[in-house]
């Protein structure tokens, strides 16, 4: 479950900014939409691992987005984020295809934990650990060890390394890294990927594990 990308559909600017910042701080790539139209457009062109959707939006009910997504065959997990706290509201949400329901006000840590759990449901569960040579990427604990030594990585570094480890022996393009590990605020032409790779190489030490495939991307090999 590497490079998790989330769409947050929330019309309150302050709350949206808080949620986006919290999820990005936890290592997710996050896009934001303030209404159904913007969310629908983003969901039609990007592949998200989870949708976080408010119900009371300027152009309708967030359930409309969920119903349309499910009707089109979409399987992306959805968490409803709302102040509507009655049992009937929750039942309506689940009936229309929501996977989880979080009532405002809420703790960012709880939101992050629920989003991470929903992302795990999206596809076949990945192994708790990925081993590439003497490198161990532990998803459950969000930890990385090399030759038995625990490494300190930022959430972004962990996300990039997790994706490279998942595809060990296969070249991962810069575009794939941008799409999976960053969000729409990242400029694909920038050197943001290179900067993270440089830091990862430094922290992983010798012998080097990450190769540069010139003009294409990066390759993790034991």
Residue from 87, 50, 91, 84 nearest 69 by CA = 50
In CATH terms, are 5-122 and 129-220 the same topology? no
CA dist., res. 75 & res. 67, Å (int): 11
Residue 12 pLDDT more than 90? yes
Q: In the predicted model, what is the mean pLDDT of the chain? A: 85
pLDDT of residue 204: 94
Residue 1 pLDDT more than 50? no
Domain borders along the chain are: 5-122, 129-220
* DSSP reduced 3-state for 63: helix
CATH topology of domain 5-122: Rossmann fold (3.40.50)
Residue 121 pLDDT more than 70? no
Domain at 129-220: CATH architecture: Orthogonal Bundle (1.10)
Beta strand 217-220 with 172-173: parallel, antiparallel or unpaired? antiparallel
Instruction: Note the residue count of the chain.
Output: 222
pLDDT digits (tens, 9 = 90+) for 38-63: 999 998 888 898 999 998 899 989 89
Q: Tell me what the mean pLDDT of segment 194-208 comes to.
A: 91
**Comparing 29 with 139, which gets the higher pLDDT?**
29
pLDDT of residue 117: 79
């Amino acid at each position: 479950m590497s490079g998790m990308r989330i769409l947050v559909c929330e019309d309150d600017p302050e709350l949206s900014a808080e949620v986006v910042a919290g999820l990005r701080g936890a290592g997710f790539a996050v896009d934001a939409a303030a209404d159904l139209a913007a969310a629908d457009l983003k969901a039609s062109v990007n592949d998200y691992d989870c949708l976080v959707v408010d119900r009371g939006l300027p152009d309708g009910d967030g359930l409309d987005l969920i119903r349309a997504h499910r009707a089109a065959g979409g399987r992306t997990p959805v968490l409803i984020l709302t102040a509507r706290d009655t049992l009937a509201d929750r039942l309506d949400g689940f009936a229309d295809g929501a996977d989880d329901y979080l009532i405002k006000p809420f703790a960012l840590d709880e939101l992050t934990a629920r989003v991470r759990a929903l992302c795990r449901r999206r596809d076949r569960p990945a192994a708790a650990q990925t081993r590439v040579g003497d490198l161990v990427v532990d998803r459950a604990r969000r930890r990385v060890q090399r030759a038995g030594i625990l490494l300190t990585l930022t959430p972004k570094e962990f996300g990039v390394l997790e994706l490279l480890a998942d595809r060990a022996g296969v070249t991962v393009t810069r575009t794939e890294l941008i799409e999976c590990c960053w969000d729409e605020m990242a400029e694909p032409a920038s050197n943001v990927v290179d900067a993270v790779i440089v830091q990862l190489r430094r922290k992983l030490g010798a012998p080097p594990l990450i190769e540069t495939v010139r003009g294409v991307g990066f390759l993790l090999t034991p």
